[in-house]
Amino acid sequence: MAEILVTADELAKRLMAALAAEGVDEEGAAATTMALMHASRLGVDSHGARLIKHYCKVLRGGRVNAHAVVSCHRTGPATAMVDGDNGLGHLTSYRAVSVAIEIARESGVGAVGATRSSHFGAAGAYALAIAEAGMIGFATTNTDSIVGLFEGTEPFHGTNPLAFAAPVTGEKPWLLDMATSSIPLNRVLLYRSLGKELPDGVAADENGAPTRDPNVAQMLLPLGGEGFGFKGAGLAGVATLLSAVLTGTTLDPDFIPMVNTDNISTPRNMGHFFLAIDPARFAGANVFAAGMRAYLDSLRKVPAADGGKVMAPGDREWDVEAQRLRDGIPIDSETAAFLNFSH
């Protein structure tokens, strides 16, 4: 069966049902579905509905606790820690976001670390939730090693995303959600299946030498590639410092791999970090709103190069969302079969 188009409502319903079948309660299933639908609606398909089969597998295997009870401990006027009880990372993360927003309303900023969590999907989902509450949001996590260091010969960091979002009056939020690797791992797998060469400076072989052959590529290069990868490696380190070192959770090289492992019963103790900033406590909500409007208007007036289009972070994703809500969300054949769309 080829890729099919499905409605957002029907896809969400089937994701909820798949999670419920694994014993996940309504709150956990709703949080996970919300995060997966965020990615599928906005075109971040690597972190969308296709992950449901993996999540069900690790729930069944015991790596992820289907009956997790998430708890929160306030550690100061503007800080807190959330314990995910080894449950679904999406439930832990949305709970941490709610706490960060609540603290920011009280103190101007809210910084929340998460422990004993698991894969949380697209980091942008959580930064966006903060922006939708009228605040500047930041979310990050670290994960298992697949990205080399600058001039290193073996993987060290994960793809370690950094996501930021900010509210914009009269339109969707400004949204940046980026990995700190040059390209995602899924791009290598796609090029391998298509028999296409990779772009220069995005992947390396087992000896750390840059390669364009997707069949030889053993690790990704950090953002900035062969010549400037120290920048991406440094940013990946920021994610690790905030989400693992600050929270006392697992460092990138110490993770049980997310996939390609027989161990799906041991929790991975992932850490995350979230930050909410209330603009009202700085220049003021009205000044901030006017500044965002002026900034974006100025940005979008910059002339585009031939064949190009100047966009602010999030513009492409909101265009994709509008198109997909109108025409349907594409689902690959394996995910469609798992969710019984063939019936």
On whether residue 46 sits in a domain, the answer given is: no
Q: Is the dihedral of CA 325, 327, 332, 337 positive or negative?
A: positive
On whether residue 200 sits in a domain, the answer given is: yes
CATH number of the structural domain spanning residue 189: 3.30.60.50
Task: For residue 112, give the nearest of 298, 247, 283 by alpha carbon.
Answer: 247
Contact by Cβ (8 Å): 135, 167: yes
On whether residue 319 sits in a domain, the answer given is: no
Contact by Cβ (8 Å): 65, 86: yes
Q: Is 320 helix (H, G, I), strand (E, B) or coil?
A: helix
- Is residue 160 scored above 90 in pLDDT? yes
On whether residue 188 sits in a domain, the answer given is: yes
On whether residue 316 sits in a domain, the answer given is: no
Neighbour-count burial of 178, counting CB atoms closer than 10 A to its CB (0-12 exposed, 13-18 middle, 19+ buried): middle
On whether residue 211 sits in a domain, the answer given is: yes
On whether residue 201 sits in a domain, the answer given is: yes
Q: Which tens digits make up the pLDDT trace of 199-236?
A: 998 999 988 889 999 999 999 999 998 889 999 999 99
On whether residue 277 sits in a domain, the answer given is: no
Q: Which tens digits make up the pLDDT trace of 318-327?
A: 999 999 999 9
Domain ranges, residue 196: 183-220
Q: Which residues contact 158 (CB under 8 A, 6 or more apart)?
A: 142, 143, 144, 145, 146, 147, 236, 239, 252, 255
> How many domains does one find in the chain?
1
